[in-house]
């Protein structure tokens, strides 16, 4: 959070500002396992993970539901290219998650990261790629914003506003450098008060 990292306010760096979606973080990966001999084909390991755990067994969780709904394994096969692995990270929203602030009727996924072994793809490019494959990306509020010289209070005020997903307060904003390498979040104080968090 910006309160713990105020040094970002001194950096002359433009950021992509995306809405912080209030759901459950999920990670979906595909890893290439090289055949031991040239005549053995490569195999692939598809993983569905919550924030802390791999969900080895297919279940009714929002993570597996969105993985199947969007054919994420197939999409990752298209995205892996020659890389050893590829990962999509996103926010799962569902009727039974975080009070269903966006009033969804079934689990859904808003991607916020596309990651390869050499790092994250910048948000603008990542959005373009995942949308081409039929996925949703977290709302991009501004493609290039500078916060240099702002106070923490001003950044938190900037983070406060209406969600692009539903007529409700947004949780806040995630700021990512254009190359995707640095990121921090600003959570709306109004959101925290409203939801007693």
Condensed to tens digits (0 to 9), the pLDDT of residues 3-55 reads 888 888 888 889 999 999 999 999 999 999 987 776 678 899 999 999 899 99
Burial pattern 81-92, b for ≥16 Cβ within 10 A else e, equals eeeebbbbbbbb
What percent of the chain lies above the pLDDT cut of 70? Answer: 97
Segment 100-119 shows an average pLDDT of 95
Indicate the range of 3-7, 63-67, 129-133, 193-197 predicted with least confidence: 193-197
Average pLDDT over residues 172-177: 93
Q: What is the pLDDT of residue 159?
A: 92
What average pLDDT does this structure show over 84-110?
95
pLDDT tens readout for residues 125-169: 999 999 999 999 999 999 999 988 898 999 999 999 999 999 999
Closest CA to 108 of 185, 167, 21: 21
Give the model's confidence band at 189: pLDDT under 50 very low, under 70 low, under 90 confident, else very high.
confident
> What does the pLDDT read at residue 197?
67
Q: What is the pLDDT of residue 112?
A: 96
Note the pTM of the prediction, 2 decimals. 0.91
Backbone angles phi, psi at 78, to 5 degrees: -70, -30
- Mean pLDDT score of the chain, rounded to an integer? 92
Task: State the number of CA atoms in the 13 A half-sphere of 189 facing the CB.
Answer: 9
- Average confidence (pLDDT) over 79-95: 96
């Amino acid at each position: 959070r910006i309160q713990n990292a105020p040094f970002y306010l001194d950096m002359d760096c433009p950021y992509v500002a995306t809405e912080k979606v209030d759901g459950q973080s999920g990670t979906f990966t595909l890893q290439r396992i090289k055949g031991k001999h040239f005549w053995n084909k490569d195999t692939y390991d598809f993983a569905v993970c919550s924030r802390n755990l791999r969900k080895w067994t297919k279940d009714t969780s929002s993570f597996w539901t969105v993985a199947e709904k969007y054919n994420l394994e197939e999409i990752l096969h298209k995205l892996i290219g020659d890389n050893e692995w590829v990962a999509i990270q996103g926010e799962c929203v569902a009727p039974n998650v975080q009070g269903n602030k966006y009033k969804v009727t079934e689990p859904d996924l808003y991607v916020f990261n596309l990651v390869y072994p050499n790092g994250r793809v910048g948000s603008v490019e990542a959005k373009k790629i995942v949308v081409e494959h039929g996925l949703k990306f977290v709302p991009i509020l501004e493609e290039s914003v500078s916060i240099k010289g702002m106070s923490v209070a001003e950044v938190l005020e900037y983070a406060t506003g209406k969600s692009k997903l539903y007529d409700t307060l947004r949780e806040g904003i995630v700021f990512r450098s254009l190359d995707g390498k640095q990121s921090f979040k600003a959570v709306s104080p109004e959101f925290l008060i409203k939801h007693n968090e």
